[in-house]
């Protein structure tokens, strides 16, 4: 079945069909080669304006979107929330309306509040891409994780994927769960009970508090960062205890399959959720995830821009 892209925005993987996720993955395949060329530039988005609107710190997502847009010849506008009129009390909606009035095409937004990109989506006509909203979703991270697994394993359906760590605060986990389960993977989540959302089984995942069970039989293990900035209370007794019980180290790797993929969305707390020897070891695809992030974001920008011809 041939699927065409019809959505104005990319707000989350929850609202995408399996066919739409597959379309993004296939489009990513064709864009990946561009970043391997000596001259990494195509005219696909010439004349389009892309706005980066980040209210939270970011290294990977922001630079990756900026590089993706630049490699497609878009004009880029960076708006720092702290240096904009938001700091003078202007509402998010009013700021967005003013940006819209400047005839931009795509707004990429990261915000600490879940649902902030959805508010913009309803308020303004440019396409909105969610670059991470609170603890809700981070769709392009989910897509790049799934693309990286598929590149190695040649499929997603039937694979066992374990997500270990701070499930309660993780937008990366939610996007991975939606995307992976839609494509037929079996997802296991593991972490301290205090960091496990009530009712997460309803998303179609298996829950375990036994790290060995999460590691054994997994084709890919995605470690999540302990998000100290989102923890209002002490939800783990100590970082040291967390590392001992749930941190992935060489000792626990003895339970892993010989062809397991070790993944992490970054930024890594080295020595907490993963030891340096595992993060930098032979099973790690962490930096491949970063590389693939550019191709995934090029594919998303291309599909949302509604450009009919690739012109590459």
Residues 6+ apart with CB under 8 A from 292: 28, 32, 144, 147, 148, 151
| Min CB(141)–ligand CP separation in Å | 5
d(CA 42, CA 295): 13
Residue from 17, 26, 59, 98 in contact with ligand CP (CB under 6 A): 59
Phi, psi of 273 (to 5 degrees): -80, -15
d(CA 55, CA 34): 30
Residue from 35, 58, 284, 312 in contact with ligand CP (CB under 6 A): 58
As given in the structure block, the two tokens for residue 112 are 């600490």
Q: Does 267 bind ligand CP (CB under 6 A)?
A: yes
State whether residue 302 is helix, strand or coil: helix
Q: Judge contact between 143 and 119, C-beta under 8 A.
A: no
Indicate the residue among 99 and 296 with the shorter CB distance to ligand CP.
Answer: 296
| Min CB(130)–ligand CP separation in Å | 11
Indicate the residue among 170 and 305 with the shorter CB distance to ligand CP.
Answer: 170
Indicate the residue among 266 and 271 with the shorter CB distance to ligand CP.
Answer: 266
As given in the structure block, the two tokens for residue 281 are 């070891």
Q: Does 245 bind ligand CP (CB under 6 A)?
A: no
Residue from 117, 126, 132, 139 in contact with ligand CP (CB under 6 A): 132
Residue from 265, 292, 294, 297 in contact with ligand CP (CB under 6 A): 265
Indicate the residue among 62 and 70 with the shorter CB distance to ligand CP.
Answer: 62
| Min CB(60)–ligand CP separation in Å | 4
| Min CB(233)–ligand CP separation in Å | 23
If phi > 0 it is left, if psi is from -120 to 50 it is alpha, else beta; for residue 208 that is beta
As given in the structure block, the two tokens for residue 179 are 């995307």
| Min CB(132)–ligand CP separation in Å | 6
Q: Does 117 bind ligand CP (CB under 6 A)?
A: no
Tell me the window of 37-45, 60-68, 184-192, 198-206 that interacts with ligand CP (CB under 6 A).
60-68
d(CA 147, CA 25): 6
Name the DSSP letter for residue 233: S
If phi > 0 it is left, if psi is from -120 to 50 it is alpha, else beta; for residue 42 that is beta
The answer to whether the peptide bond before residue 267 is cis (omega within 30 degrees of 0) is yes
d(CA 14, CA 176): 10
As given in the structure block, the two tokens for residue 103 are 């005839």
Q: Does 60 bind ligand CP (CB under 6 A)?
A: yes
Tell me the window of 20-28, 101-109, 261-269, 303-311 that interacts with ligand CP (CB under 6 A).
261-269
Q: Does 78 bind ligand CP (CB under 6 A)?
A: no
As given in the structure block, the two tokens for residue 106 are 């795509």
Q: Does 141 bind ligand CP (CB under 6 A)?
A: yes
Q: Does 305 bind ligand CP (CB under 6 A)?
A: no
Indicate the residue among 140 and 305 with the shorter CB distance to ligand CP.
Answer: 140
Name the DSSP letter for residue 271: T
Binding-site residue total for ligand CP (CB under 6 A)? 11
For binding to ligand CP (CB under 6 A), which residues are involved? 58-62, 132, 138, 141, 265-267
């Amino acid at each position: 079945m041939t699927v065409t892209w019809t959505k104005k925005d990319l707000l989350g993987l929850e609202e995408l069909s399996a066919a739409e996720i597959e379309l993004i993955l296939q489009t990513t395949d064709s864009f990946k080669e561009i970043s391997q060329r000596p001259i990494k530039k195509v005219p696909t988005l010439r004349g389009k304006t892309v706005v980066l609107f980040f209210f939270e710190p970011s290294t990977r997502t922001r630079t990756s979107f900026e590089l993706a847009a630049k490699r497609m010849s878009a004009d880029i506008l960076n708006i720092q929330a702290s240096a904009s009129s938001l700091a003078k009390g202007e509402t998010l909606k009013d700021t967005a309306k003013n940006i819209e009035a400047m005839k931009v095409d795509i707004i990429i937004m990261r915000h600490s509040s879940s649902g902030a990109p959805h508010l913009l989506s309803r308020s303004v006509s440019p396409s909105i891409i969610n670059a991470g909203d609170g603890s809700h979703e981070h769709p392009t991270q989910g897509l790049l994780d799934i693309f990286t697994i598929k590149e190695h394993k040649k499929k997603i359906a039937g694979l066992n994927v374990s997500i270990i760590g701070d499930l309660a605060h993780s937008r990366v986990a939610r996007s991975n769960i939606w995307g992976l389960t839609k494509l037929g993977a079996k997802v296991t989540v593991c972490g301290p009970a205090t960091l496990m959302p009530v009712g997460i089984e309803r998303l179609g995942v298996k829950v375990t508090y036994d790290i060995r069970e999460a590691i054994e039989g997994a084709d890919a293990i995605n470690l999540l960062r302990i998000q100290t900035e989102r923890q209002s209370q002490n939800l783990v007794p100590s970082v040291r205890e967390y590392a001992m019980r749930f941190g992935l180290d060489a000792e626990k790797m003895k339970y892993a399959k010989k062809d397991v993929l070790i993944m992490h969305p970054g930024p890594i707390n080295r020595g907490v959720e993963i030891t340096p020897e595992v993060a930098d070891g032979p099973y790690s695809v962490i930096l491949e995830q970063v590389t693939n992030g550019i191709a995934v974001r090029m594919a998303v920008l291309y599909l949302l821009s509604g450009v009919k011809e690739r012109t590459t």
